[in-house]
Copies of this chain bind each other. A is one copy, B any other.
Amino acid sequence: MFTLHKKDGNARLGTLKLAHGDVQTPIFMPVGTVGSVKTMVPEDLHKLGAEIILGNTYHLYIRPGLEVIREFGGLHGFVGWNRPILTDSGGFQIFSLANQRKIDETGARFQSHLDGKLIHLTPELAVEIQETLGADIHMVLDECTSHPATYQQAANSMRRSMRWAARSRAARTRPELAQFGIVQGSMYEDLRTESIEALTAMNFEGYSIGGLSVGEPKPDMRRITKHCCDRLPEDKPRYLMGVGTPLDLIESIDAGVDMFDCVMPTRNGRNGTLFTSKGRVNIKNTRYRLEKAPLDENCACYTCQNFSLSYLRHLFMAKEYTAQRLLTLHNLTYYLKLIHDIRAAIAEGTFKDLLAHHQGLWET
């Protein structure tokens, strides 16, 4: 399923062969939580060159629900997207959204944040939901260990996740869809190593690094990412979940990560924080009131090719829907262009130059 083409240091260039087509790595996956990347339509995503998008098991299970998804033969048919989709397992949302959750060995019992309905999400149900969604890549259900955690809390939580991973692996019925295990173990290297050994013994199609970007200091995130990449198998893709800033992506690729998802380009776009070739731009800044230049002179997106900072600021201040869309479009373009630049740099053996440039550009 995964072919590694080239390495430049630890940065990797590869191809994922998935049920709905090939995906080049490194890859950034825009997040379409409930079945749409906010403010975007599939036509936009095609133009942006998005190769794979993310859907959310928890959200889609509680709304619209599997009965609707089945009617359309899966998520692709329902949302009108014919390229690969990755779904997470719902583990993270149980912790961040659900009310009155109770975790035990069987799985998680919780109330839907929409209607209070009781749900018992087991590793087996998470597999069933994701096979019904028909996403090209599935995640096993895991317990996202909260931060900070004592060694014993982290060990217990990780080991339960490993038992759930084994049940998830056993439960699947659609082997044409890839299933990824999720490495846990909080900030403890030996627990991460134990988790990797447990998961690799189950021979997943790929491995996610979970339990990061949950409030820990950046050096911890970098340290654990590096520790995991050094021990994960070379011939399988590595996915760092929920990360991150442009510099997070680049530094993680430098450690050996292949795949990313994050709400940052879409959410920050809607909130008026933009990523540009010259660094961060806050669109609310009064200095842009009369600014005729585009947001980013080096950007080929529709927003930068057609509108001034002044107009974008005006639309944002006036809370116009169009602002959310134009700013999201720019940020996604920035992220996907960055990924293309990174691929080119790895291919040319100049990845470290790109890394150094961005370390100078962004505040760490």
A residues near B, CB below 8 A? 34-43, 59, 63-64, 67-68, 71-72, 78-80, 270, 289-290, 292, 302, 306-308, 310-311, 314-315, 317-318, 320-326
Contact = CB atoms under 8 A, between A and B. Distances in A.
A292 B70 CA distance: 12
B326 A324 contact: no
A292 to B, nearest CB: 7
Contacts of A38: 320-322
7 contacts: A36-B315, A39-B321, A39-B322, A43-B302, A63-B314, A72-B292, A72-B308
A306 B42 contact: yes
A35 B314 contact: yes
How many copies make up the complex? 2
Contact of A325 (B42, B67, B79, B321): B321
A42 B324 CA distance: 15
Contact of A311 (B35, B306, B308): B35
A311 B71 CA distance: 11
Given A68-B310, A306-B42, A310-B64, A321 B318 contact: no
A39 to B, nearest CB: 4
A78 B311 contact: yes
A6 B326 CA distance: 42
Nearest to A307: B80
A41 B302 contact: yes
A289 B322 contact: no
B79 A311 contact: yes
A195 to B, nearest CB: 34
Given A35-B311, A39-B322, A59-B318, 8 more contacts: A35-B315, A37-B322, A39-B321, A41-B306, A41-B322, A43-B306, A63-B318, A78-B311
